[in-house]
Structure 1
Amino acid sequence: MTTVRRESLSDQAARLLLARIQTGEWAIGQKLPGETTLGPQLGVGRSTMREAIRQLAGQGILMSRQGSGIFLQALAPQQDWEALVLRTNIASILEARLAIESEAAALAAERHTAADLGVIRAALDRRNVERATIPSRVDADTALHRSIVAAGGNPILTELFDTFAERSHDAMIQMLRLSGEPGTDHDQQVHERIVDAVADRDGEVASALSRAHLLALRDAVVVGDGAGGAPAE
Structure 2
Amino acid sequence: MALRAAGRQSLVDTVVDQLRAQVAAGEWKVGERIPTEHALAEQLQVGRNTVREAVRVLVHAGMLRSRQGEGTFVVSMADPAEIMRGVRRAGIRDVLELRIALEAEAARLAALRHEPADLERMRAALDAQEALEDTEGQPGSGDLELYADHDIEFHKAVVDAAHNSALSATYSWFSSSVREALLTALDDREMPRVLHGDHHALMTAIASGDPDAAAHACRLLLERPKQAVESLLSES
TM-score by length of 1: 0.57
Shift of residue 126, structure 1, vs aligned partner: 1.5
Q: Does 1:89 align with 2:91?
A: yes
Q: Does 1:151 align with 2:161?
A: yes
Task: Write the deviation string for residues 10-51 of structure 1: whole angstroms up to 9, x where unpaired.
Answer: xxxxxxxxxxxxxxxxxxxxxxxxxxxxxxxxxxxxxxxxxx
Amino acid at match of 2:161: A
Amino acid at match of 2:175: A
Partner residue of 2:186?
176
Structure 1 stretches lacking a partner, 5+ long: 1-60, 63-76, 226-233
Amino acid at match of 1:154: N
Shift of residue 114, structure 1, vs aligned partner: 1.5
Q: Which has the larger radius of gyration?
A: 2
Partner residue of 1:118?
120
Give the direction of change, closer, same or farther, for the CA distance of 1:195–1:83 in structure 2 (3 Å limit).
closer
Q: Is the 8 A contact 2:152 2:179 kept in 1?
A: no
Give the direction of change, closer, same or farther, for the CA distance of 1:106–1:81 in structure 2 (3 Å limit).
closer
The runs of at least 4 consecutive aligned structure 1 residues that moved more than 6 Å come to: none
Shift of residue 171, structure 1, vs aligned partner: 2.4
Distance in structure 2 (CA, Å) of the matches to 1:160 and 1:79: 15
What is the root-mean-square deviation in Å for CA atoms of aligned residues? 2.6
Q: Is the 8 A contact 1:130 1:140 kept in 2?
A: no
Distance in structure 2 (CA, Å) of the matches to 1:157 and 1:79: 19
Distance in structure 2 (CA, Å) of the matches to 1:84 and 1:112: 29
Task: Write the deviation string for residues 112-150 of structure 1: whole angstroms up to 9, x where unpaired.
Answer: 112222222212211222333221111000000111110
Aligned residues: 148
Question: Which stretch shows the higher mean deviation, 94-103 or 131-140?
Answer: 131-140
Partner residue of 1:212?
220
Partner residue of 2:204?
196
Give the direction of change, closer, same or farther, for the CA distance of 1:215–1:182 in structure 2 (3 Å limit).
closer
SS at match of 2:187: helix
Shift of residue 192, structure 1, vs aligned partner: 0.7
Q: Is the 8 A contact 2:104 2:218 kept in 1?
A: yes
Q: What are the residue-to-residue correspondences of 1:16-95 with 2, within 5 Å? A: 78=81, 81-86=84-89, 88-95=90-97
Amino acid at match of 1:204: D
Q: Is the 8 A contact 2:107 2:211 kept in 1?
A: yes
SS at match of 1:178: coil
Q: Is the 8 A contact 1:137 1:182 kept in 2?
A: no
Distance in structure 1 (CA, Å) of the matches to 2:201 and 2:213: 9
Q: Does 1:160 align with 2:167?
A: no
Partner residue of 1:50?
none
Amino acid at match of 1:85: R
Distance in structure 2 (CA, Å) of the matches to 1:206 and 1:154: 16
Question: Which stretch shows the higher mean deviation, 163-172 or 110-119?
Answer: 163-172
Distance in structure 2 (CA, Å) of the matches to 1:125 and 1:222: 30
